[in-house]
Amino acid sequence: MRRRTSILQRLDWVSIILVGLLMIWGWMNIASATAGAEPVDWLNWESKQGKQLIWIGVSVLLAVIVLNIEGEFFIRTSILHYTVNLVLLLLVLAIGKKVGGARSWFGFGSFSIQPSEFAKVSTALLLAWLLSRSDGKLRNMKTLLQSIAIVGIPAALILLQPDAGTVIVFGGFIFALYREGLSGNVLIAGFCGLIVTIASILTGAPSVSYPFIGEASAIWVFWFILVLMGGLIWQLTPQLIVPRKRRKVRNVTLLSFAAALILSSGIHTGLEHVLKQHHKERIHVLFGMDVSNPDADYNIRHAKAAIGSGGLAGKGFLQGPMTAYGFVPEQETDFIFCTVGEEWGFLGGLMTLALLTTLLFRLLVLAERQRSNFTRIYAYGVTSILFMHYLINIGMVLGLAPVIGIPLPFMSAGGSSLMGFTLLIFILLRLDAERFSVLR
Amino acid sequence: MNLKERQWVIGSILLIMTLIFLGRLAQLQLAPGPWRDYAARLTEEREIIDAARGMILDRNSEIFMTNIASYDITFVPRQGKLAGGFDTSDLSGVLQMSQKQLKENIQKADDYASYRPSAIRKQIPAEEYAKASGELWRFPGLQTKRRAIRTNPSGMASQILGEYRETDREDLLSGIGYELGDYKGKSGIELHYENSLRGHRGVKYHIVDVRNDFREPLSDGQLDTLPIPGSDIMLTLDLELQSYGEHLMQGKRGAIVAIEPSTGEILTIVSAPTFATDLLTGLERGRHYDSLLRDPSKPLFNRTVRATYRPGSIFKMIQGLIALDEGVIHPESRIVCNRNIIGCHGQHSFDNLQEAIVHSCNPYFHEVMKRMVQSGKSENIFKDASEGLSRWTPRIKQFGLGTNLGGILPGLRSGSVPDTALYDRMYGTKRWAYSTIYSISIGEGELLTTPVHMANLAAIMANRGWYRTPHSVLDVGGKGKPEHLDSLVHTGVSDYAFGPIVNAMQTVIESAQGTGRKARVPGITVCGKTGTVQDGERQTHSVFMAFAPRDNPQIALSVYVENAGSGGDWAAPIASLIIEKYLTGEVTQSAKEQLILSATYPFPEH
């Protein structure tokens, strides 16, 4: 009895309150998005907000159970968790229910479970277990490759479903790896890669008339500029760099510009010859490029209209016509932020972003106050996953990222994601509560 | 860098992304942008509630023009697509139209606006719609719009009532608030009184769902307005008399215009041949219009106001009136019928004015006009004629001839009364004298009048010297007759001069040899004058003008029957039947009626 009380006292109530507020806030907006013109039937268990209320209840139960399990259990069983999850990911490819073109779900009557949401938890656990056992600096190649394998295997299985959104979320583990010693150059390289990607997409579609050659894609101009820049740096190296470092600089220049060209041509080929037309259109819509199919930007146009029409204070709870009458597809799940934007305006949006950002910063604080390497690395894993969801989901509804269907943590309707996020956070909170009693 | 410090890099990335999101959110929600309007366009829909168009009634409140229900079937392409489309061959059967036409209309609707209803089948009559309505639920995206269509149950007076049809580009650009697909009056009364007939449409604002279905009123309906129905227009026409007139003119070409002399109200205005008004209001308008346009008898041509004829012998009465008033003759002045100067007909040699009108003596009026125009006041005969004619022309115009009669009858032509300027143009200044232009003295030459002008002349005779402007509208929206319609005009001829003329008009009807004896009406004293108007090589036009009864006249009219022969043979009996019908309410002269009804264009040569 005494022991339990001490756990309660050591729990991080700031995180718990933030999570609780996000759940209630999400549930209210789900109710509005579901109700249409009818008065909200709050306790109708068949409706979306009714089901969400059940899921919230289940998640609370799950949280209580998790908080009562010794942290050591999660560390010791992380390989088991991971293995079971891989089996589930394989199984879902075989016997899963196909929804919207992706085989991501196990159906159980009227509700379904998405194993990829739980794979995030087990991956974060195993990655923390691996890195906490090594020297923790990620300097040797073996640990790096093992880390990449731990993240890559479930990600590859999820890509087969296919569920590109979740795969991108797995990419977020790069932040955890960076904190544990991965070279900062990887982040810089990633940033440069992003620039090259955007430039390749922008210059890939329009065609330009070249002298002697005729009409061709404008991407050749971009490639020409890349080669020119590379050559220029190569030539100027003797003037700018001390002799001792010239050779290294030249090698790095050669490598990075070659990599940029390969990446760019790969993206161009992928866009023009591999991706399906509607995927390509989604990417073009994002960059404001001319798209002939008027329905290609339907989702994002309506999402922006719903948010943009909210103004400062919004149209009022249950008062938004775009929310009530089905103008925004997936409004109660991936596009739940549109309801907030339309009915609660800028103030509601600000509050939502504040809740999510405060939670993320709180998780960073939790991560950095750990003495246990395992807990710190796991905390970074949790933060990275939540951050990726936040980044992609909000970016998508605001028209800054392509339409990639992933839920907004704790707010979007759906049981699997809610339980997944609950497990992620409450395992961390249990480990955090034990931080003075362990010496790992 | 110490690994622990890397938390600041990660924290910074989180902070920067959140700031970017906040900036974007502020840009979407706080900065002025297109999104609020765009959302309103998606979620708000304006529903037009058409105002009932005013009816057009006759002087006894009988219906000329009214509205009946019909149905437009509209289609919202997006709605159809969302529900998975439907079988067009099935729908074409239900709507009774060709599948090809249906597919074309659906394509058009899609091209115009995929989320808005566009008509794919218009103006389905109520009975046909009742049959189809039970089937329509099977086709997603279809809606029904009730629309009133214009109909003239009697089919009478089509040329005067005018056309009511879909607005064209010009109307849409006019800035008077017409929208694509609206209907409006395009000619005749429908056009002239469009603003009164039209009323004001109501508007309802709705919040719609993603399928464009109405869900709830916008702003609790505070912006909505109710439609205000259009005003009824009451015409001066008598539907019964109009119908009888059109009945008599069947198969002939010509015109009847009858006026109530004391008021100037037009009782009947028949242009023959005519057509049923509804031919030009339905969906087949284009086809009907083309065939009417190609018809050699020109049914679309409103002869009552647009056709101009020479007045012929009827003009001699005006000459007589002016001559008396000018003092160049008196009622007993006799003039030798010198047929060397100008041809004549019949047994007479030395008539006074009354006899000259009855006999239609050409040399008499040749001399009468010579006394007015070639008066000898100037030495030079050219100057003399020019001065004489410039005194003569305005006096003729006082009878309304050569004028548009106040411009209140839509489309009325002025006709022509020659003046010095005209002859100067034709022959050169001081190159013409009376001997050049004398043919106008007997109503030939450059004189031209319409049937309306002739009927008005009959009204002047009936009133002994004045007329009220002929007009066709009695009341607009219960507010009475519009102003300026019936201004009083005096011819300037003193009423004593009318004595011998009216006597002559009575003799024309009642004398045993009178040319207008077929215009007699049992028990009623009719005054009239025949006219037989040359039409080149063809059979002459048969013309007659009359008023009745002689004292306290109730009706004045002109009758034209093209290429039918002499005025006494065809126009006079038609006038007789019209007068009897109007004054007694029935027709007793059935033999005369049968004869008229059996006669059709072309008339046999005499």
Q: Helices (H), strands (E): how many in chain B?
A: 23, 20
Tokens 């691996």, residue?
Answer: A130
Contact between A93 and A160 under an 8 Å Cβ cutoff? The reply is yes
Q: Fold identical between B38-62+154-235 and B239-273+302-474+486-598?
A: no
Q: How sure is the predictor about B551, in pLDDT bands with cuts at 50, 70 and 90? A: very high
For residue A181, which residues of chain B lie inside 8 Å, CB to CB? 3
Q: Do A353 and B26 touch (CB under 8 A)?
A: no
Residue A219 confidence (pLDDT) above 80: yes
For residue A353, which residues of chain B lie inside 8 Å, CB to CB? 18, 21-22, 25
Report d(CA A56, CA B473) in Å as an integer: 78
Per mean pLDDT, which range of A86-90, A223-227, B80-84 is the poorest? B80-84
pTM metric for this prediction: 0.69
Q: What is the DSSP letter of B518?
A: G
A176 CB contacts (<8 Å, ≥6 apart)? A124, A127, A377, A380, A381, A383, A384
pLDDT at res. B511:
92
User: Which string of DSSP letters, residue by residue, matches A36-54?
Assistant: TTSPP-TT-TTSHHHHHHH
Q: Residue B146 corresponds to which tokens in the numbers above?
A: 């009730």
The angle at the Cα of A304, spanning A303 to A307, to the nearest 5 degrees, equals: 90
pLDDT tens-place string over residues A57-77:
999 999 999 999 999 999 999
Q: Do B14 and A322 touch (CB under 8 A)?
A: no
Upstream peptide bond of B602 is cis (omega within 30 degrees of 0): yes
Q: For the residues B570-599, what does the mean pLDDT come to? A: 95
Q: How sure is the predictor about B118, in pLDDT bands with cuts at 50, 70 and 90? A: confident
Instruction: List the beta bridge partners of residue B207.
Output: B44, B216
Residue B220 confidence (pLDDT) above 60: yes
Mutate to test the interface with A, among B43, B110, B115 (most CBs of A within 10 A): B43
Q: For chain B, give the percent of residues with pLDDT over 70.
A: 100
pLDDT at res. B140:
86
Q: For the residues B48-64, what does the mean pLDDT come to? A: 92
Q: What is the DSSP letter of B496?
A: G
Locate the domains of chain A by residue range. 2-189+292-433, 206-286
The angle at the Cα of A69, spanning A20 to A422, to the nearest 5 degrees, equals: 25
Q: How sure is the predictor about A440, in pLDDT bands with cuts at 50, 70 and 90? A: very low
Report d(CA B565, CA B576) in Å as an integer: 17
Q: Do B210 and A400 touch (CB under 8 A)?
A: no
Residue A426 confidence (pLDDT) above 50: yes
Radius of gyration of chain A (CA): 24
Residue B469 confidence (pLDDT) above 90: yes
Report d(CA A52, CA A408) in Å as an integer: 14
Q: Can you tell me whether residue B86 is helix, strand or coil?
A: coil
pLDDT at res. B485:
87
Closest CA to B493 of B378, B593, B375, B400: B400
Q: Do A327 and B42 touch (CB under 8 A)?
A: yes
Pairing mode, strands B118-125 and B63-75: antiparallel
pLDDT tens-place string over residues B277-327:
888 887 788 899 999 999 999 999 999 999 999 999 999 999 999 999 999
Residue B606 confidence (pLDDT) above 60: no
Closest CA to B544 of B577, B513, B574: B574
Of B20, B29, B216, the CB nearest to A37: B216
pLDDT at res. B427:
93
pLDDT tens-place string over residues B423-435:
999 999 999 999 9
Q: Do A325 and B18 touch (CB under 8 A)?
A: no
Average pLDDT over chain B, rounded to whole?
91
Instruction: List the beta bridge partners of residue B202.
Output: B49
Of A175, A326, A395, the CB nearest to B210: A326
Helix (H) or strand (E) holding A357: helix A336-368
pLDDT at res. A167:
87
> Please, what is the end-to-end C-alpha distance for chain A in angstroms?
26
Of A306, A357, A368, the CB nearest to B7: A368
Upstream peptide bond of B549 is cis (omega within 30 degrees of 0): yes
Residue B6 confidence (pLDDT) above 60: yes
Q: Where are the alpha helices (DSSP H) in A11-140?
A: 13-35, 48-67, 71-76, 78-95, 115-133
pLDDT tens-place string over residues A362-417:
999 999 999 889 999 999 999 999 999 999 999 999 988 877 789 999 999 999 99
Confidence check on the interface: ipTM exceeds 0.85, yes or no: yes
Q: For the residues A282-286, what does the mean pLDDT come to? A: 72
Report d(CA A104, CA A83) in Å as an integer: 18
Q: Quick one: fold of B239-273+302-474+486-598?
A: Beta-lactamase (3.40.710)
For residue A399, which residues of chain B lie inside 8 Å, CB to CB? 24
Q: Do A179 and B7 touch (CB under 8 A)?
A: yes
Task: Please enumerate residues of B whose Cβ is less than 8 A from a Cβ of A.
Answer: 1, 3-4, 6-7, 9-11, 13-15, 17-18, 20-22, 24-26, 28-30, 33-36, 38-40, 42-44, 207-210, 215-216
Of residues A296 and B412, more confidence is placed in B412
Contact between B542 and B314 under an 8 Å Cβ cutoff? The reply is no
pLDDT at res. A137:
64
Buried-exposed string B194-231: b where 16+ CB fall within 10 A, e elsewhere: bebbbbebeebbbbbbbbbeebeebeeeeebeebebbb
Superfamily of domain B38-62+154-235: Penicillin-binding protein 2a (Domain 2) (3.90.1310.10)
Q: Do A325 and B43 touch (CB under 8 A)?
A: yes
Instruction: List the beta bridge partners of residue B206.
Output: B45, B217
Of A321, A326, A346, the CB nearest to B25: A346
Instruction: List the beta bridge partners of residue B73.
Output: B121, B144
pLDDT at res. A439:
52
pLDDT tens-place string over residues A240-276:
888 888 888 888 888 989 999 999 999 888 888 777 7
Q: Helices (H), strands (E): how many in chain A?
A: 18, 5
pLDDT at res. B148:
82
For residue B215, which residues of chain A lie inside 8 Å, CB to CB? 37, 321, 324-325
Upstream peptide bond of B299 is cis (omega within 30 degrees of 0): no
State the burial class of residue A8 (Cβ atoms within 10 Å of its Cβ: 0-12, 13-18, 19+): exposed
Closest CA to B267 of B413, B398, B458: B458
Q: For the residues B7-21, what does the mean pLDDT come to? A: 94
Q: Residue A169 corresponds to which tokens in the numbers above?
A: 């979320």
Q: Do B14 and A360 touch (CB under 8 A)?
A: yes
Report d(CA B254, CA B245) in Å as an integer: 11
Report d(CA B328, CA B340) in Å as an integer: 23
Buried-exposed string A145-176: b where 16+ CB fall within 10 A, e elsewhere: eebeebbbebbebbeebebbbbbbbbebbbbb
For residue B44, which residues of chain A lie inside 8 Å, CB to CB? 321
Residue A286 confidence (pLDDT) above 70: no
Instruction: Please count the other Cβ atoms lying within 10 Å of the Cβ belonging to residue B518.
Output: 22
How far is B3 from chain A, CA to nearest CA, in Å? 6
Pairing mode, strands B265-272 and B254-260: antiparallel
Report d(CA A81, CA A87) in Å as an integer: 10
pLDDT at res. A1:
42
SS3 content of chain B, % helix, strand, coil (to 5): 40, 20, 40
Q: Can you tell me whether residue A229 is helix, strand or coil?
A: helix
Report d(CA B259, CA B238) in Å as an integer: 11
Locate the domains of chain B by residue range. 38-62+154-235, 68-76+92-149, 239-273+302-474+486-598
Q: What is the DSSP letter of B570?
A: T
Residue A296 confidence (pLDDT) above 70: no
Q: What count of Cα atoms within 13 Å lies in the side-chain half-sphere of residue A40?
A: 17
Pairing mode, strands B63-75 and B56-57: antiparallel
Q: For the residues B204-212, what does the mean pLDDT come to? A: 84
Report d(CA B591, CA B574) in Å as an integer: 12
Of A308, A349, A361, the CB nearest to B14: A361
Residue B466 confidence (pLDDT) above 80: yes
Closest CA to A136 of A170, A184, A182, A171: A182
Q: Can you tell me whether residue B561 is helix, strand or coil?
A: strand
Q: Residue B513 corresponds to which tokens in the numbers above?
A: 């040899």
Report d(CA B115, CA B104) in Å as an integer: 18
Report d(CA B558, CA B556) in Å as an integer: 7
Report d(CA B549, CA B261) in Å as an integer: 11
Contact between B52 and B199 under an 8 Å Cβ cutoff? The reply is yes
Pairing mode, strands B233-235 and B56-57: parallel
Q: Residue A119 corresponds to which tokens in the numbers above?
A: 């794979």
